[in-house]
Amino acid sequence: MLARLLSKKPVFFLYLATLILTYLSLFECSEVDQNKKKGHLEPIFSYGKRHQVEVFEGFPTPKQFFQDFVSPSKPVLFKDAAKRSPAYKLWNDEYFLSYPESREYIVTVETKKKENRSQPANDVPFSTYLKHYRKKDVYMVNSVPNFLRKDVLVPSCLACENMIHENLLYNMMWMSNGGTKSVLHNDYAENLNCVFRGSKRFFIVDKKYMDLINVTDLGYSSVDVDRVDLDQYPGLYNMEHYEVTINPGDCLYVPFLWVHQVTSFNHNIAVNIWWKNKAEVDFDHCDPDANLTLKDVTFVGFDKIYDAEHKMIRGRLNHRIKTKGPMRFEDLMEVIIEAGDLVEPDSQMDGKIRELMKKVFVILDVDPTDGVITKKELDILSQDNLETIRNLFNEVIELQQQQENTNLPPPVKRELADEQLPPDWSKEERQGEDEWEENDLTDLWDDADGDHWPPAGGALVEPEIEPSAEKEEL
């Protein structure tokens, strides 16, 4: 056979070429299959091209920060930058409990350390959380309580007049006993995260890969960060990313829309600040040495960045249509209830709320003859219509709040209702949570050296009433 082929050279070389190509193809497929196993059903970013984040000692000037890092969307770790904040030395459980306000101030608590955005959160007194979180699978995610804001210095790279009164959106305090894991997500804002206790590991991915790794419509991915299924999420295979650890006293800048996943270690307290993307900073009116605290600045809230709300509205509806098909009116209502940030899942949908939602449906259903909202109709939705829908949603929120205020029971100051505590907390742990008498605090006011606790000039201030802020989902 071989001799016959050799006598016909063109045929022989064609045969040989076919054999070589077949072998190379099999080898390539084998290599891809082998590589695919790297990272498949393993923790997120176990493999892939990894970069290190630039490290900068302390904070730069505001002008340098915005020119060198914010404008080019470049993540950076500010080493030891948060150590000047009083929180770095003062914050611990005993310090927090020394404030009478801790008994009244309500905080939002996630009931699982591994984030699941469909998991409901609980609202509990701050003091209750402090007494139990070290033994429970819980995680406080709440804006910094007013009585503690004096302990957190505004990062000096943000200390410009128009930044601190017009462009800061929100602050968030993250507190746990470690072991928390976020979903893979991004934020519709610039982000600076400072750690005061424990450490946090960030994986960060350039926003240009958002679509590839499935962080699109909802602003987060449903991938299991502990066990990545590369068949379901192939875009994560060999993904280029950054890894950085924030230690106590460090701050990390995460650029606008950059995707990140966060894991915390050990007793953990961190505070982050979000601000508007493309904020125009007046560098002639900055004072990095002013030592401003969170009490000195204005947080305008995410509802002031309308494009973020427009993106959220379009994203949620798009996601529903992609996964389940065109929406009828009842499907739209289901999306709003499942979101949890317009109406409570167990609330009664009264006539006024339904009428507002019918107006939303009419705007979205461009072709009323079919009675459903399609992806094509969402794609042609104008900014004006999105703004009208946003205003209608805000009316729904106002009606919901009025309904909640009307149904509120008389305040009970000395006894906690069962529903204020996570369901896995035992009856014994529920008893006497707010039964403290004044002399119960004395042991917290004296440290081992006999010094007065809390430090002079700090703690016992008049309570400042502030409604508990809910975590924003962008």
Output the pLDDT for position 267: 97
Domain range list for the chain: 49-300, 307-405
49-300 and 307-405 in the same fold:
no
Tokens 């794609």 correspond to 379
Q: Is the peptide bond before 62 cis (omega within 30 degrees of 0)?
A: no
Distance CA 36, CA 418 (A): 49
CB 385 within 8 A of CB 359: no
Prediction pTM value: 0.71
| Angle, vertex CA 290, rays to CA 287 and CA 294, nearest 5 | 110
C-beta separation of 41 from 227 below 8 A? yes
pLDDT of residue 143: 97
49-300 maps to which CATH number? 2.60.120.650
pLDDT at 393: 83
Residues 381 and 364 sit within 8 Å (Cβ to Cβ): yes
Contact between residue 372 and residue 365 where contact means Cβ atoms under 8 Å apart: yes
Three-state secondary-structure class, residue 172:
strand
Residues 246 and 197: their CA atoms lie apart, in Å, by 10
- Per-residue model confidence as pLDDT tens for the chain (474 residues): 444 444 555 555 555 555 565 555 544 444 445 445 689 999 999 999 999 999 999 999 999 999 999 999 999 999 999 999 999 999 999 999 999 999 999 999 999 999 988 788 899 999 999 999 999 999 999 999 999 999 999 999 999 999 999 999 999 999 999 999 999 999 999 999 999 999 999 999 999 999 899 887 778 999 999 999 999 999 999 999 999 999 999 999 999 999 999 999 999 999 999 999 999 999 999 999 999 999 999 999 886 666 777 777 888 888 889 888 999 999 988 887 776 555 555 555 678 888 888 999 999 999 988 999 999 999 898 888 888 888 888 788 778 767 666 655 544 443 344 344 554 554 444 444 444 333 333 332 233 333 332 333 333 333 333 433 433 333
In Å, how far are 5, 7, 8, 22, 25 from 11, measured between CA atoms? 6, 9, 6, 17, 21
Going by their DSSP bridges, the two strands 76-79 and 54-57 should be labelled as parallel
Distances in whole angstroms, Cα of residue 430 to Cα of each of 93, 130, 234, 415, 423: 19, 13, 46, 9, 10
307-405: CATH architecture? Orthogonal Bundle (1.10)
Cβ neighbours, 10 Å, residue 342:
17
The 3-state DSSP class for residue 258 equals: coil
Q: Evaluate whether 301 touches 309 at the Cβ level (below 8 Å).
A: no
Calpha distance 142→102 (Å, rounded): 13
Is the CB of residue 422 less than 8 Å from the CB of residue 113? Answer: no
